[in-house]
Structure 1
Amino acid sequence: MKFLNRQLATLPWTHLAWGKPLIPKHAFTLWIAIKQKLSTLDRKCTSHIDSVTCVLCNNALESHDHLFYMCPFVKPLWTFIQIPCGFYIQPTNWASLISWAAYHWRGEGSSHSSSFSRLALASLVYNVWAEHNRRIFTGRKLTQNSLLHLTLDSVRAKLLSTSIKDSTTRRQIVEEWNLPSSVLRQPAKPPDI
Structure 2
Amino acid sequence: MGKTQLFGGIIGLLGVLYVQANLPAPASSSRDTKKWIPFPTGLYSFSHTVSHLVGDLPTVPWHNLVWNSPSIPRMKFILWSAVQSKLPTLDSKSMSKHINICPLCSESMESHDHIFLNCSFVSPLWRFIKYKCSMFTALRSWEALVRWASAKWKAKNSGNLLRKLGLLVLVYHTWEERNARIFRGKKASQRAVCAKICSTIFAILKLGCFRDCASSRSILKDWNISPSCCRSPLRPPD
Range into which the TM-score falls when normalised by the shorter chain: 0.7 to 0.9
- Count residues with an aligned counterpart: 184
Aligned to 1:30: 79
Identity of aligned residues (%): 36
Across the aligned residues of Structure 1 and Structure 2, the Cα RMSD in angstroms comes to 2.0
How many angstroms apart in 1 are the aligned matches of 2:110 and 2:169? 20
1:32-181 equivalences in 2 (<5 Å): 32-43=81-92, 44-47=94-97, 49=98, 51-109=99-157, 113-181=159-227
Unaligned ranges ≥5, structure 1: none
Which amino acid letter does the alignment assign opposite residue 75 of structure 1?
S
Deviation of the 1:59 alpha carbon: 0.5
* Secondary structure class of the residue paired with 1:172: helix
Moved over 3 A (4+): 3-6
Query: What is the TM-score of this pair, normalised by structure 1?
Result: 0.88
Asked which structure has the greater CA Rg, the reply is 2
Deviation of the 1:152 alpha carbon: 1.2
How many angstroms apart in 2 are the aligned matches of 1:115 and 1:163? 9
Q: Deviations over 1:130-159 (max 9, x none)?
A: 000000011111111111110111111011
Query: What is the TM-score of this pair, normalised by structure 2?
Result: 0.72
Which amino acid letter does the alignment assign opposite residue 10 of structure 1?
T
Unaligned ranges ≥5, structure 2: 1-51
* Secondary structure class of the residue paired with 1:72: coil
How many angstroms apart in 2 are the aligned matches of 1:105 and 1:36? 20
How many angstroms apart in 2 are the aligned matches of 1:167 and 1:140? 42
* Secondary structure class of the residue paired with 1:165: coil
